[in-house]
Amino acid sequence: AVAGSFAAPWLLGHFRALLPRALHQPLQSVADALGIYATDWAAMLQAMGLSILVHLLWIAMHLICGLALAIAAPMLIYTLIVPLTDIVGLAPIFVNNLGAREMVFALYLGQLGVSEGSAVALAFTAFSVRLVVSATGGLLLLFDGRGPVSDEPDVHVGS
């Protein structure tokens, strides 16, 4: 996907006449979005680093949820099934990855002797944590990241 994204400007430049018209606008959108990174590799590396950090935190959150449910699965399993569930969940037959996540967790954790109920509980717990975190972030964005604004001065400041 990353290689395809970076190939968009090149494809447009060299094969615009050969590409179907339906692909021109999507490829141009990708090329425009990536244009800022063409000259600023530091920004690109920073974005990739943040992406890796978020994925590692996401895997760690699954591991913590698994430990909370007394599921003794090695870290390697989490590093495999977490991205796999995200990829499988991209199929248009799943709504918000529901069903795909549970299926992958039951399949992989079942091979380690984890009951199907525990695997589904882990998938649901991880989904619930992500939902709460996302809803909190959404509310913060909705209110511009600022808490309640008051015209009254805070009498406790400096005391």
**Residue bearing the bigger pLDDT, 127 or 92:** 127
**Residue bearing the bigger pLDDT, 95 or 111:** 111
Q: Which long-range contacts (CB under 8 A, 24 or more apart) does 114-123 make?
A: 114/71, 114/73, 118/69, 118/70, 118/71, 119/71, 121/69, 122/62, 122/65, 122/66, 122/69, 122/71, 123/85
Q: Indicate if the pLDDT at residue 104 is higher than 70.
A: yes
Count of Cβ atoms closer than 10 Å to residue 106 Cβ? 19
**Residue bearing the bigger pLDDT, 96 or 117:** 117
**Taking the domains of the chain in order of start, what are their residue ranges?**
2-39, 44-142
pLDDT bracket for residue 2 (50, 70, 90): low
What pLDDT is attached to residue 158? Answer: 55
- Name the average pLDDT for the chain: 82
**Residue bearing the bigger pLDDT, 40 or 127:** 127
The contacts of residue 16 (CB under 8 Å, 6+ apart) are: 24
Count of Cβ atoms closer than 10 Å to residue 115 Cβ? 12
For 133, phi then psi, to 5°, come to -65, -45
What pLDDT is attached to residue 157? Answer: 54
pLDDT bracket for residue 155 (50, 70, 90): low
